[in-house]
A and B are shown apart, each in its own frame.
Chain A
């Protein structure tokens, strides 16, 4: 017993000793798939290399839907972590209003984020009443179609160059024993894929009007009718992909069991981990090959208010580290996302990332759905589309009627 006590006393003394120089900063995030974990390890490495602080990894498995409630309840419950990842947009709105998150404007000004962050809308999404509350770390876009070259070869087809060709190839793929399209069972994947159809087949303006302005007339209109028709086509194609997680669905494409998948550019990290080469083993079609536009959502780190100067100092240091050029390059190459600053060199980027960078440079960008919708609206959309894509008894018209209802009541 006494041995125990001395041991504990020794360890506490040790902790107190190190704390004088550097703080342990707990960072929570939901990056747990192979590619994501490799990317976040880059953050930890850079943070520990450039500062004296220690990165304590607090990964939460199960995706944002599982992780966000855990993070929020820890912050509200008075046990905040050092920093946490959210998708920037309206997810943290109320936490900021309640004064639970730190104002990082000082760091942002010292580092000149206003001048380097590109596109500026990323920083706007972090800004509330002129103060900056988060550090954007990457740009993620949803509007990508990933295709397995080998799957099409096996079915004796050319790799499609746009959505319509892909739909037309569906029956031939199924005959060859390949699931035409992979879709995981988690609700956010269903609504995400639908939003992509809407942004590309309908066009970015349609999405902006409906989600941004709550235009119910537009939601009931002909443009959306076509989108719902495409969604019904997609429902046919995803029959038989019995997986849950997005990376399992991507894996169906990687292993050529499925023809393709609509998924954000983070899927690229999975292809990279599997050793696949863009253009040879797989093909990526930004904007589904129809409308080359990318949304500029992404991930950002927020910093809860903590009553400990050591930790606050570590938070400042982390915020600065996240945006410095080397970190940005190392992280984004692994993650498959685009850097938030235009002045970094992405020589090592692969074909797909280069396509993304070109589109970004050309200015064909649109806001991310998370910036326009609250989580409540997103959750309602999740419910609608996960049901639509899994249950063939719901007609496209019925689904559209429910969609109009959600849009009319959104805030």
Chain B
């Protein structure tokens, strides 16, 4: 993209940034908006939030929100497979629940997750390019998956967001030092 002239001016700043930030731990935060959906039969969505490698394999599971207690409609884990991408890439090979990853379903609104570099979820994530995936599936409802590419341990602060059309509202990813 940039010309060599541009590159020359960027490199020193980047190196400066890297030298100063390298020692500092990075923090990844995600804002997830669950829209209010006006339907005859509403169930809170099941949501999976994970970090995918470039080849779509799973690098880290951040959170999975689902009904962990068996209810009158049966086993809560019954609908996990409706988060099709997550189920295929990770869920079906996991022993659930996972401490710190499994969580209860959430009400409409914005929910924020914050993970430090030393958290269980991210401690083994090496520097590189990844994709944050957020997948929501709702009983008697639809399914939507959103993806946000990002760089981990690049020494640069990043803020990106994407807005869903049906099951998910605005998803914002922030990497800060």
Q: Do A and B bind each other?
A: no
Q: B residues bordering A, Cβ < 8 Å? A: none
